[in-house]
Homo-oligomer: A and B are copies of this chain.
Amino acid sequence: MSLIRVGVLGARGRMGAEVVRAVEAADDMEIVAQVDTGDWLFDVADAGAQVIVDFTHPDVVMDNLRFCVDQGIHAVVGTSGFDDAKLASLREWLAAKPDLGVLIAPNFALGAVLSMKFAQAAAKYFDTVEIIELHHNRKADAPSGTAAHTARLIAQARAAAGLGEVPDATTSEVDGARGALVDDIRVHSVRMSGLVAHQEVILGGTGETLTLRHDSLDRTSFMPGVLHGVRAVLDRPGLVVGLENVLEL
């Protein structure tokens, strides 16, 4: 079996360097180009890359992708900052290349993505649900983007199933005790020394609860998802947003 030829953009950044290590350790791929600020992007094409992985910066990622699409190179993208306009441009570019795939994912941790997916699938079977996310205490925003996204997915699933608001008998509350409402789903944010990134979705029904918990220790947790994306994008032409859309469940 021939190896998948991978180029890494942002190869000297923290995430990019992890990607290089992960690709090198994988049996079915090889690194053919490592590019960062100041390097020629053409190196990637010259080296015959089939797929690039991009962990760069919102300011440069669209140029990178324009180049890849032109050169017929698939792309797996962890860089943030994609809005509707950027996604529309990407779709337009890809329309001309029916065999080419681009996968953009805000979160490559398989456990996080599966946890969201399962929360969404289970939501319609339980009348109550809340989210607790726990992070290190240097984090500036609360709730986390992942928790807010999870809340939105759960809210959509409940709406689709005809479930109304989560019933709540609270009549006397110290401000904030019952958490934040994100799309009418309660989210609680804990900040603490000694934590990294953790999330619990608790679903409660008659006489039982189901808890989906994800614990992430460090950025290496993204690597299995990135490698999975590299393998998957070869057979998934067009634009795919979200790692969950290339998982088989």
Interface residues of A (CB under 8 A from B): 109-112, 114-115, 118, 121-122, 125-130, 132, 134, 137-143, 148, 167-182, 186-196, 202-224, 228, 247, 249
**Cα–Cα distance between A49 and B236 once the two chains are bound (Å):** 50
A215: chain B residues at CB < 8 Å are 194, 208-211
- Tell me whether B214 and A208 are in contact (CB under 8 A): yes
Q: Count copies of this chain in the complex.
A: 4
- Tell me whether B128 and A110 are in contact (CB under 8 A): no
Contact for A180 among B175, B221, B228, CB less than 8 A: B175
A118: chain B residues at CB < 8 Å are 114, 118, 121-122, 212
- Tell me whether B111 and A209 are in contact (CB under 8 A): yes
- Tell me whether A178 and B176 are in contact (CB under 8 A): yes
- Tell me whether A177 and B142 are in contact (CB under 8 A): yes
A194: chain B residues at CB < 8 Å are 111, 128, 204-209, 215, 217, 221
Chain B residue nearest to A115 (CB atoms) is: B210
**Cα–Cα distance between A191 and B127 once the two chains are bound (Å):** 11
- Tell me whether B132 and A122 are in contact (CB under 8 A): no
Chain B residue nearest to A220 (CB atoms) is: B207
Contact for A111 among B142, B203, B224, CB less than 8 A: B203
**Cα–Cα distance between A129 and B212 once the two chains are bound (Å):** 15
> Closest 9 interchain pairs by CB?
A207-B221, A192-B204, A208-B221, A177-B180, A111-B210, A194-B204, A207-B220, A174-B180, A142-B177
Contact for A171 among B111, B140, B195, CB less than 8 A: B140
**Cα–Cα distance between A63 and B139 once the two chains are bound (Å):** 46
Shortest beta-carbon distance, A241 to chain B, in Å?
19
